Structure 1
Amino acid sequence: MMHTFHLAELPPAVTARALLRPPSAGTTPGLDHAECLALMRLGAPTVSPDRLQLRRVAVFAQWRDEESVDRFLAEDPLGRHLAAGWHIRLEYLRRWSTLAALPGLPARAGSWGPEEPVVAVTVARMRLPEVPRFLRWGKPVERQVRGHPGTTLALAAFRPPRTIATFSVWRTVREMEEMVRGRSAPADRRHADAMAERRRRDFHHEFATYRFRPLAEHGTWEGRTGIVPAG
């Protein structure tokens, strides 16, 4: 099993097809599940071009093996577009909660050290009446993550009407965990307080956070390479 996360700038027609009819296990050999979303800029105003970037696409996918990833990028029409962007190949480590679309992942797989790089992916299905409340609590967290010195890349993405995802690359597990627990220096409890509010009354129908070890990155994003810190 392997996971990947892709970022690419696509023609509008390709973006529309990806959002409306994402790749599936029935159409793409070796694929278990894929989430196709339009990028948002973390912390941007709710109504703005930065908030929903329809030409910039993120894809999070689970595959049966690495050969399936290579075949998709070389042969699939969407895959060839994604191959011109940036992607990272990931080793699954841990989850909090679960998604119906990704059943069977163990709560924990393997171990990790506090000073190694780590990737976090969150996927949620929103309760639409809770969106205003979610924005009130979530946007401060977006700004916290985007501005944290421990992240080398942090972004969010959305697929109408209710799926939202976040993706972040961290220099170390330790820095990510300190942020989540509100123990960064100086102390900043925006993330911890938002999670407490979610437990009080959930914003989502489904919500799952996944932790991964970065294995290899390919291509460039916004002119950048080497987004994953050297371990």
Structure 2
Amino acid sequence: MSIFSYHLVKTNYLSALKAYLFPPDPKKTPGLIHIECMTAMTLGSKIFSPSRMLIRQVAVFAQWENESALNDFLEQNDFGKTLAKGWHTRLIYLRQWGKINGFKIPDESIESDDPESPVVAVTLARMKLPEVPRFINWGRPVEKLVRDHPGISLALASIRLPRTVSTFSVWKKQKEMINMVQGHSNVPRPKRHADAMKERERKDFHFQFTTLRFKPIAEYGQWNGRSEIIPNINRSQNK
């Protein structure tokens, strides 16, 4: 069974640029199905602020044939060794909305029946460049909603110019995420996400878009001095 992983690491500008321009090739990387290497961004920050694009912070979302392939990559591949110095979580696929090329998404969804369990959500989109101003207008309020939500343990955005944008969020409880999506959270302006989705349905911002939901099964390392970001899963450290 394939697994997914999400990685965050702070490195130097040269290493970050190399990962951005020359990501690992699945044809030359054993067990790698697909990988997205992006620059991390701060959710909800101003478009032209220094915190919008954090050049030295690399975000990686990948799918692997199995966990052994991921372990080998982190231990033997030069870029994998860099990622191993940061933080990552390992993920089991639950459900997908939309579609995007590259990943091999299972045909069947798995419904988690525990509303109290943690869940990870990843969105990935290929932008229609003329729609970027509309996307920013509708997207930034949603970013702030997710960033400030009491049910969030970690949330960030990432980008790979010119077209790929993504978000990553760790929710303490699945029910908190579902309430946010449906506009039922007990927060100011709770319908920001639902309203943005209606606008996307009216006139799409993207030519490809997917939202993926995962069950986290392990967490490794630290991010911004934090560990134990995901509640109630296996805690591990890379050696």
Shorter-chain TM band: over 0.9
Contact 1:40-1:51 at 8 Å conserved across structures: yes
Q: Which residue of 2 aligns with 1:42?
A: 43
Alignment map for 1:6-155 (pairs within 5 Å): 6-155=7-156
Kindly, what percent of the aligned residue pairs are identical?
A: 50
17-26 vs 139-148, which deviates more? 17-26
Contact 1:95-1:107 at 8 Å conserved across structures: no
What is the CA–CA distance in structure 2 between the aligned matches of 1:183 and 1:17, rounded to whole Å? 42
Contact 2:33-2:104 at 8 Å conserved across structures: no
Q: Which of 199, 211, 214 is the aligned partner of 1:212?
A: 214
2:37 is matched by which residue type in structure 1? Answer: C
1:7 is matched by which residue type in structure 2? Answer: L
What is the CA–CA distance in structure 2 between the aligned matches of 1:219 and 1:167, rounded to whole Å? 17
The DSSP-based 3-state class of the residue aligned with 1:67 is helix
2:40 is matched by which residue type in structure 1? Answer: L
Q: Which residue of 2 aligns with 1:223?
A: 225
| Cα displacement string for residues 72-124 of structure 1 (whole angstroms, at most 9, x for unaligned residues) | 00111110000000000001100001111114422513533111100000000
97-106 vs 56-65, which deviates more? 97-106
| Cα displacement string for residues 25-46 of structure 1 (whole angstroms, at most 9, x for unaligned residues) | 1121100000000000000000
What are the ranges of 5 or more consecutive residues in structure 2 without an aligned counterpart?
234-239
The DSSP-based 3-state class of the residue aligned with 1:5 is strand
What is the CA–CA distance in structure 2 between the aligned matches of 1:220 and 1:112, rounded to whole Å? 29
7-16 vs 211-220, which deviates more? 7-16
What is the CA–CA distance in structure 1 between the aligned matches of 2:52 and 2:190, rounded to whole Å? 24
Q: Which residue of 1 aligns with 2:5?
A: 4
| Cα displacement string for residues 161-180 of structure 1 (whole angstroms, at most 9, x for unaligned residues) | 11001000001110000000
Once the two structures are TM-superposed, the CA of residue 22 in structure 1 deviates from its matched residue by 1.1
> Between Structure 1 and Structure 2, how many residues are aligned?
231
Contact 1:95-1:106 at 8 Å conserved across structures: no
Contact 1:24-1:32 at 8 Å conserved across structures: no
